[in-house]
Copies of this chain bind each other. A is one copy, B any other.
Amino acid sequence: MRDYPEKPRDECGVVGIICNTDAAKGGLSAEEQARINTRASVSAYHALYALQHRGQNSAGIAVSNGSVIRNVKGAGLAPDVFTMKTLSELSGYMAIGHVRYAGHKTAAEINAQPFLIETMGEQIALAFNGALVNSEQLRRVIEHRGGIFQTASDAEVILNTIVYERLHTRTLEDAVLRAAKQFQGAFSILLMTKSKMIALRDPFGFRPLCVGRNVDGLVIASESCALDAVEASFGRDIRPGEMVVVEAGRLSSYQASIPERGALCAFEFIYMARPDSVIDGQPVETSRNLAGRYLAKSSPADADIVIGVPDSGMSAALGYAQESGIPYAIGFIKNRYIGRTFIQDTQGMRESSLKIKLNVLKPVVDGKRVVMVDDSIVRGTTIHRVVRLLREAGATEVHMRVASPKYEHPCYFGTDVLTRDQLMATRYNAEELVRRIDVDSLGFLRQEDLPNVMPDLKVGWCDACFTGEYPIPIVAEKERNKNGRQKDERIV
């Protein structure tokens, strides 16, 4: 097995920028004109920067100037792909952007989005967050029409399906509506033609998507933190099953599909989303703090201090401390320069490499009984080493508290946790977990408390990774492994 990271990764973040064109009229200084020309690309860049946590392997921005769409994308973080020079060449008033996680570099380059295609003289750009559970079937349908696939991406399936429907509809909107009915799974989609932007969220609302407004115009993004980054005020969430069309400054809303029971990914609150985002009414940070509080109630501990595992365990740790009355402390220091992958390639240093990334504040934990709060245990590949760091630093007891329920089932809706045998909580029972992680006690958030930590959520949620109750029936995993392949294993 490859060296899978401990946590699931969200496979994408999307952003759409639509600037007012009346601002572009007349009598401007050269400098002001330059700002006007690049406000779409620069805003898209800043928004991607804010969404970078949703995908670090590729980044791309497509910009329309009203008559043609240009597209730049590549492997790496947004600042690796774009320079001010690149952005200034992407002149236009409307843009979509995308960041993506991918298993390896080749996949990153070729599957990078936005996709930009042309058909019947019309350019269409697409940025997509999610995963279709019926993509293989849709691919087969397209292939039986003579269609070809240059990538392994569901985005190419989506584009082909929309374009085919476009042959039988008067407008692109109608084509999207017809195609949307064929897509099963999680999808938050942005489509752009030279003059129009279309946003579409699946009827379950698996992945977040919201819209806001700033002085330049409208902004659509996976998370509200991207609105903040471009000084946009939050407008509203795109509703599950809603299609929003922006053209000539007007925003129209359509019912693309009859909304099912909402199935917003609960793991967005636990780990994936940025704490400063608010998704479907629920602030992420508040949710994490509450998770800590409920955890303190259901899994108390007799200890001296509560510490969190950086970064995403910190909020829950604070909540745990506040609820339990045990003092909160900063127990770990994370190396600020982590993110350059070279560290983990170093031979013979694999075991110690954790210490390079994460160090314990020995004076804080030495001689203490410690409650260590982490957001989740998914693959569980490194957690025992984190515990060992604490013990080596003198912690007399380590009580681990996990701010989410046991992660026991694969996710088919846009993360990279695709097989059951990667999941630690599936492979070991409670007793084995305690022994393997080497903690004095271990507690998880109770499934029944999950609703309590998302009190302001205005839609339903998906907790299939905890419960195994998938909102959409999933083909048995075994069969899937025989016929299908994991996405990134197919290098096209």
Binding site for B on A (CB under 8 A): 31, 34-35, 38-39, 42, 45-46, 49-50, 52-53, 68, 70-72, 77-80, 82-84, 87, 106, 115-120, 123-124, 140, 142-150, 159-160, 163-164, 166-167, 225, 228-231, 274-276, 278, 283, 285-286, 311, 314-315, 318, 322, 327-330, 333, 335-337, 339-340, 342-343, 345-349, 352, 355-356, 359-364, 490-492
B contact residues around A146 at 8 Å (CB)? 119, 142, 145, 147, 160, 163-164, 166-167
**Contacts A119-B149, A339-B337 given; does A42 touch B228 at CB 8 Å:** no
The answer to whether A355 and B228 touch across the interface, beta carbons within 8 angstroms, is yes
A72 to B42, CA, bound (A): 31
Q: Which of chain B's residues has its CB closest to A52's CB? A: B337
A229 to B368, CA, bound (A): 23
A168 to chain B, nearest CB (A): 9
The answer to whether A363 and B49 touch across the interface, beta carbons within 8 angstroms, is no
B contact residues around A70 at 8 Å (CB)? 106, 491
The answer to whether B335 and A49 touch across the interface, beta carbons within 8 angstroms, is yes
Q: Which of chain B's residues has its CB closest to A352's CB? A: B231
The answer to whether A115 and B330 touch across the interface, beta carbons within 8 angstroms, is no
**Contacts A70-B491, A83-B342, A148-B117 given; does A336 touch B311 at CB 8 Å:** yes
A296 to chain B, nearest CB (A): 15
Question: What are 6 A-to-B residue pairs whose CB atoms are below 8 Å?
Answer: A50-B356, A120-B140, A146-B166, A283-B363, A286-B364, A315-B330
A148, A167, A278 interface centre (most CB from chain B within 10 Å): A148
A390 to B67, CA, bound (A): 41
A61 to B398, CA, bound (A): 39
Q: Which of chain B's residues has its CB closest to A329's CB? A: B318
B contact residues around A275 at 8 Å (CB)? 330, 333, 361
A264 to B49, CA, bound (A): 39
B contact residues around A225 at 8 Å (CB)? 333, 359
Question: Which 8 pairs between the two chains have the least Cβ-Cβ distance?
Answer: A146-B164, A79-B340, A283-B363, A117-B148, A276-B333, A35-B348, A276-B359, A52-B337
A327 to chain B, nearest CB (A): 7
Q: Which of chain B's residues has its CB closest to A331's CB? A: B285
A492 to chain B, nearest CB (A): 5
Q: Please tell me which one of the listed residues B71, B77, B335, B362 contacts residue A340 in the complex, with CB atoms under 8 A apart.
A: B77
A215 to chain B, nearest CB (A): 10
The answer to whether B149 and A118 touch across the interface, beta carbons within 8 angstroms, is yes
A339 to B335, CA, bound (A): 13
A274 to B106, CA, bound (A): 34
A23 to chain B, nearest CB (A): 13
B contact residues around A490 at 8 Å (CB)? 118
A100 to chain B, nearest CB (A): 15
Q: Please tell me which one of the listed residues B285, B328, B355 contacts residue A328 in the complex, with CB atoms under 8 A apart.
A: B328
A352 to B49, CA, bound (A): 13
A35, A163, A274, A342 interface centre (most CB from chain B within 10 Å): A342
The answer to whether B144 and A167 touch across the interface, beta carbons within 8 angstroms, is yes
**Contacts A285-B363, A356-B50 given; does A346 touch B42 at CB 8 Å:** yes
A71 to B150, CA, bound (A): 11
